[in-house]
Structure 1
Amino acid sequence: MEIHNERRRLLDSEGDGLPTGLMSGQVAYLSKVKNTKLYLATFASVLGPMSFGFVLGYSSPAIPELMRTSDSRLQLDAVQASWFGSIVTLGAAAGGLLGGWMVEKIGRKLSLMFCSLPYVLGFTIIIAAQNVWMLHIGRVLTGLASGVTSLVVPLYISEMAHEKVRGALGSCVQLMVVLGIMGVYLAGLFLDWRWLAICSSIPPTLLMVCMCFMPETPRFLLSQGKRREAEEALRFLRGPDAPVAWECARIEEACEEQGSRFQMSDLKDPGVFKPLMIGIMLMIFQQMTGINAIMFYAENIFEQAHFKESDLASVIVGLIQVVFTGVAALIMDKAGRKVLLIISGVAMALSTTAFGVYFYLMSKLHSATTPGEEPHTDLTWLALASMAFFISGFALGWGPIPWLIMSEVFPVKVRGFASAVCVLTNWTMAFLITKIFQEMMNVLTSAGTFWLFASMCALNIIFTIVFIPETKGKTLEQIEATFRGTSGP
């Protein structure tokens, strides 16, 4: 009782130079915060998503080379190439489950450090590969690490960052993923697949080293009853002038309101059930845009589109993705999550429709062409423009925001479990889409496949308008309170 009263005094009084009341106290507190070390901790953690980007992008330059290699032990046929591209998502789905357990048992920081091990081991196995099975095992291990990363890093950043910069820093997760993808596309122009794997093992090695010097998140420490360590972590992240006891008291009160550890019966609570459903649907819709299928097979798509410099086209696509994800990070805390999701959905719906039109027109040109004669490729610009517009739209909203919202909406006690369910959903959908993408192109035709993606983009616009809450400018505790139907601490 005495501790509770002291906490209320910190929240309500003018102690530590903060004015009376939560909102005015919040503004005054943030005015004393210095973000330098918060940015440093964010940079260290997003080396994980950069590693994840290298894994995602690796298959695009590696598959054509491995299919053409003169070494029969390593040569991929069409089926093996499909598995090489998609099996990483199975590893990532398992990594999502493993990550959900790890963040609760050993914390966010140690989970992030340990996930660098399967990255390095996986790429080492690929480098030393003597047969196709070794290539696949390496991809599964790097996928496992990617799944852990995709869960842990958004949680780590959202629990460290304050509400003023949480959107921008959370968007850096996707920014570093696309930087990794572009980096591996660019390196693929100059390096063979083995040297590419060597380069891909550098970011996870740096991740392990840099995270040694970063703190655990204050919210996890408080959930473990480690108040002194939580205050030290906050002091590191907020600077020496910020009265961190005030923020610590605010977080601690929210943790106490939630009660004990997560139990399955908690799923009946609207404060758990509603954000979990939103998180799951966000992940399903993100994959149903077709993004991972398009990124995994970027070079193949451009070859089918008769774009002669398909590897260069992939680099251009990667560059566009980096630029627009950077734009999203800059405007996230001003424009808000919901508006960007709607703009993103509209852009993707239009671009995938246009891509479908391109493939439809090209099929007509092929059928009208004399056998052995090359069809006119005057419409090649449409393929590149459609891809660029799609990537721009995805990078603005549906790329970074589902991961950001996942890290914002769950109460602390269910964050590990709920995030694991969302990551498992995302990567299971990614596997299904990437594995059957080529079959979809054969059965539905290329045009029909992209029109299916367009219809999914239209559905995600409706879902966003009806169900997604705006979270910009709110503390994690206030967001949780919104779903519980109470006022936040």
Structure 2
Amino acid sequence: MKDKSKIFFNSVIAALSSFIYGLFQTSSSCLSDVLKKSYNSYKFKLDFIYFESMFTFIVFLGAFTCSLFIYLVKNISRKNLLIYNNFLYLVGSFITILSKNCFVLLAGRCLVGFAAGVTCYTVPSYIFGITYETERGFFMSFHSIGIVLGLVIGKILDVVFSDVYYFWIFLIISFLIVIHTVLLLLISNGKTLSLDHEHSSIKELIKDPRAKKSVFLALSFHIAQHASGIDHLSLSLEEILYDFKNPGLLSILSLSFSALISIICCSFIDKLGRKIMIIISTVLMALSTFIMGFDFVNLTILFIYFLDLILEWLQFLGLLQMKYFLLIM
């Protein structure tokens, strides 16, 4: 595609799948009371907090499970894969609307996680296939920007509708999924997964000595991100900021700061290079996580934390699939 505006349009539409994933993440925090009421009705000895943690984690278990089976759809174009994937998002949303059983909701959340896994593979690889190397960093960042903007809008919906009218949130998300599906019909197919380079699986990738460094770095950063507690932090910002005035508003502002930084930084990726931004983000991550480890959390630390997280997301979301990125380091 030589027309840059067409590349921009296709990239934005594809990245709306990432936006939907972000919506599910923060908007699901409004389900806490529903989950607690259902879980306590079973009179389990295990405290609800463990189930709540599982509810947060299950998304990533679903995404990981998806990564093990992605090769089964290698002959489907990325465009069609995103269309089919919206069906999974839609089913997950309807389950949330129709059920108040904690285990059914957990299953729906796992399904959303599976769909998120497809999104995190397909969106970066689709954009990679339609862009030129000189501007690839800019367009590839649309994936992470989509996720963060989804987190912001999801948190706004969570604060506005609260846990009483949570079904409206997922009705809105369902409506957006339908609109996105229609928009996907307007973009190009991109490459099929079977046309990708010589490696089609993680197992084959690990065997390539040229890719060992890439795999190690990508996995290390992914693990470090999640081990830092960002998943729980994104869902529990209001609880963390409970002692402040208007914790809901402050949580929206902190996530909005992340979105702003991601939009600003995407213009510098191709100019500064990924290595420099990775070094900066690693230092900031170590600093902010270390301080929060001493139970010292305020808005400044949260802003540093989210700044660093965005810098890392811009570099590494989807890089395990885009293995050729880090080979140039």
| TM-score, length basis structure 1 | 0.60
- Among candidates 208, 215, 218, match of residue 279 of structure 1: 218
The amino acid of 1:56's aligned partner reads: Q
- Among candidates 307, 310, 317, match of residue 392 of structure 1: 307
1:145 aligns with 2:118: no
- Among candidates 13, 16, 21, match of residue 44 of structure 1: 13
Distance 1:150 1:113 in 2: 14
Match of 1:227 in 2: none
Distance 1:332 1:323 in 2: 15
The farther-off stretch of 71-80 and 401-410 is 71-80
The amino acid of 2:304's aligned partner reads: F
Displacement of 1:285 after TM fit? 2.5
Match of 1:61 in 2: 30
Match of 1:322 in 2: 259
- Report sequence identity in percent: 24
- Among candidates 192, 200, 214, match of residue 173 of structure 2: 200
- Among candidates 82, 85, 108, match of residue 115 of structure 1: 85
Match of 1:211 in 2: 184
The amino acid of 1:350's aligned partner reads: L
Match of 1:457 in 2: none
Displacement of 1:41 after TM fit? 0.8
Distance 1:209 1:130 in 2: 30
Contact 2:26 2:155 in 1 (8 A): yes
After superposition, give the CA deviation of every residue in 1:181-235 in whole Å (9 maximum; x if it has no partner).
Answer: 10011111221211111122233322321222222224x48939xxxxxxxxxxx
After superposition, give the CA deviation of every residue in 1:161-200 in whole Å (9 maximum; x if it has no partner).
Answer: 1112210111110111010110011111221211111122
Do the aligned partners of residues 296 and 74 (structure 1) sit closer, same or farther apart at CA in structure 2, a change above 3 Å counting? Answer: farther
1:292 aligns with 2:231: yes
The amino acid of 1:106's aligned partner reads: I
The farther-off stretch of 86-95 and 116-125 is 86-95
After superposition, give the CA deviation of every residue in 1:441-477 in whole Å (9 maximum; x if it has no partner).
Answer: xxxxxxxxxxxxxxxxxxxxxxxxxxx6556xxxxxx
Distance 2:137 2:286 in 1: 25
Do the aligned partners of residues 120 and 177 (structure 1) sit closer, same or farther apart at CA in structure 2, a change above 3 Å counting? Answer: same
Contact 1:61 1:311 in 2 (8 A): no
Distance 1:137 1:217 in 2: 32
SS at structure 2 position matched to 1:399: helix
Displacement of 1:81 after TM fit? 2.4
- Among candidates 169, 173, 179, match of residue 149 of structure 2: 179
Distance 1:288 1:261 in 2: 28
The amino acid of 1:79's aligned partner reads: Y
Displacement of 1:342 after TM fit? 1.1
- Among candidates 275, 278, 281, match of residue 341 of structure 1: 278
Do the aligned partners of residues 142 and 261 (structure 1) sit closer, same or farther apart at CA in structure 2, a change above 3 Å counting? Answer: closer
Contact 2:75 2:193 in 1 (8 A): no
SS at structure 1 position matched to 2:293: helix
SS at structure 1 position matched to 2:313: coil
- Among candidates 30, 50, 57, match of residue 79 of structure 1: 50
- Between 1 and 2, higher relative CO (CA 8 Å, sep ≥ 6) is seen in 2
Distance 1:42 1:215 in 2: 10
Distance 1:67 1:356 in 2: 28
Q: Which runs of 5+ in 2 are unaligned?
A: none
Query: In terms of Rg, which structure is larger?
Result: 1
Do the aligned partners of residues 163 and 123 (structure 1) sit closer, same or farther apart at CA in structure 2, a change above 3 Å counting? Answer: same
Distance 2:208 2:48 in 1: 50
Do the aligned partners of residues 287 and 79 (structure 1) sit closer, same or farther apart at CA in structure 2, a change above 3 Å counting? Answer: closer
SS at structure 2 position matched to 1:217: coil
Distance 1:222 1:90 in 2: 25
1:309 aligns with 2:279: no
| TM-score, length basis structure 2 | 0.86
Distance 2:112 2:313 in 1: 21
After superposition, give the CA deviation of every residue in 1:253-288 in whole Å (9 maximum; x if it has no partner).
Answer: xx6xx5x97796674332344433333233223323
The amino acid of 2:16's aligned partner reads: L
Do the aligned partners of residues 275 and 198 (structure 1) sit closer, same or farther apart at CA in structure 2, a change above 3 Å counting? Answer: same
Distance 1:343 1:67 in 2: 39
Distance 2:239 2:54 in 1: 15
Contact 1:98 1:148 in 2 (8 A): no
Distance 1:133 1:206 in 2: 29
Distance 2:37 2:249 in 1: 20
The amino acid of 2:54's aligned partner reads: W
Distance 1:88 1:94 in 2: 10
Q: Any residues of structure 2 matched to 1:382-461 within 5 Å, and which?
A: 383-395=298-310, 397-403=311-317, 405-410=319-324
Distance 1:42 1:353 in 2: 36
SS at structure 2 position matched to 1:307: coil
Distance 1:266 1:214 in 2: 30
Distance 2:237 2:102 in 1: 22
Distance 2:205 2:282 in 1: 33
SS at structure 1 position matched to 2:320: helix
Do the aligned partners of residues 354 and 115 (structure 1) sit closer, same or farther apart at CA in structure 2, a change above 3 Å counting? Answer: same
